[in-house]
Amino acid sequence: MPEFHHFLNQLPKAELHLHLEGSLEPELMFKLAQRNQITLPFDSIEAIRAAYEFSNLQDFLDIYYQGANVLQTEQDFYDLTWAYLERCYQQNVRHVEPFFDPQTHTDRGIPFGTVINGIHQALQDAKTKFGISSYLIMCFLRHLPETAALTTLEQALPYKDKIIAVGLDSSEKGFPPELFERVFAKARAEGWLTVAHAGEEGPADYIKQAIELLKVKRIDHGVRCVEDPQLVEHLIQTQMPLTVCPLSNLKLCVFKDMREHNILELLERGVKVTINSDDPAYFGGYMTENFIAVADALSMTKTQAIQLAQNSFEASFLPTAAKATWKQQLQALA
């Protein structure tokens, strides 16, 4: 591995935009399909990988929801989460705030508790075995009605302490944040923080709605903010974090070429951008691969890499004291 790539791998990092269902590697998908006697529409692991050619978000989502069908038992959700955390350990990702999509599972008859208990146990074990800290974020599927999100919120209440925030994901265009104002208000009233996907495929106005109506603490993706210069100024002034996912943006054709990606331009302008992997099993890489893809295409400097890592902790939901400790450790690498 070239020296700078090794540096990027060793850099302590936090991951803030990761869908656990999107970390389901074809090998584990096959194994779980066998274990649960589910027939996959693919003959081999190679055939699964070959199907991962997407021209937009919806193309991907169709395959992503299909893949999630193999997840049935608490052990399956544990194994899924644990496999992701092993990758984090290998890449020196020291803190994670993953998403899960309960509706993808409860709509198939899997109890909410089965999903969250499996995930939670793996997160606990990663703290003990790898020293990786974590908070869990529950996402609502925006292609479904707000009433369904409200039902999900009710199902989550017995597990309130295992969740730090709610988010909003799935098909963006035509499903603006304003449709979810009530359920997000209810989530905040229950003490949860809020985040939302916005400005991935949808317009800059969806970012504004997420901030103003859903009172989010971070914007997931947000790369289309550049279409509204006033909004960019606002993001800088308020230091609103953007959890950017470079390889995802490339695979879903948000940018045609990594050399056209705006992440380092936003970083230099003072926007609190972070690097994340989104759905690594589908988009070709975890945290280090995302850092490397940006570094190689856009000539990232060591100072920029350290700033991106520092942003990842600052944009996290960790307590102020923990953030200060990570900042000190990262500044020592400069």
Given the residues 15, 200, 201, 314, the one annotated as active site: 200
- If the CB atoms of residues 19 and 272 are measured against ligand HPA, the closer one turns out to be 19
Cα atoms in the 13 Å half-sphere on the side-chain side of 267:
23
22 binds ligand HPA (CB under 6 A): yes
289 binds Zn ion (CB under 5 A): no
What Å distances lie between residue 189 and 153, 178, 186, 215, CA to CA?
12, 17, 5, 12
- If the CB atoms of residues 248 and 307 are measured against ligand HPA, the closer one turns out to be 248
Q: Catalytic site residue 200?
A: yes
CA–CA separation, 167 and 111 (whole Å): 20
CA–CA separation, 159 and 117 (whole Å): 9
> How is residue 18 annotated by DSSP?
B
Binding mask 253-282 for Zn ion (x = CB under 5 A): -------------------------x----
Binding mask 57-76 for ligand HPA (x = CB under 6 A): x------x------------
Chain length of the chain: 334
Residue 293 CB, shortest distance to ligand HPA, in Å, is 16
What does the DSSP assignment read for 145-169? Answer: -HHHHHHHHHHHGGGGGG--EEEEE
197 binds ligand HPA (CB under 6 A): yes
Tokens 């692991």 label which residue? 45
Scan residues 150-169 and list those touching ligand HPA (CB under 6 A): 169
CA–CA separation, 98 and 222 (whole Å): 18
Using an 8 Å Cβ cutoff, are 69 and 37 in contact? no
Scan residues 273-292 and list those touching ligand HPA (CB under 6 A): 278-279
- If the CB atoms of residues 99 and 192 are measured against Zn ion, the closer one turns out to be 99
User: Which listed option, ligand HPA, Zn ion, none, makes contact with residue 170 (CB within 5 to 8 Å by class)?
Assistant: ligand HPA
Measured in degrees and rounded to the nearest 5, phi and psi for residue 20 equal -55, -40
200 binds ligand HPA (CB under 6 A): yes
Contacts to ligand HPA by CB under 6 A: 19, 22, 57, 64, 169-170, 197, 200, 248, 278-279
Active site positions, annotated: 200
**What residues make contact with Zn ion under the rule CB under 5 A?**
278
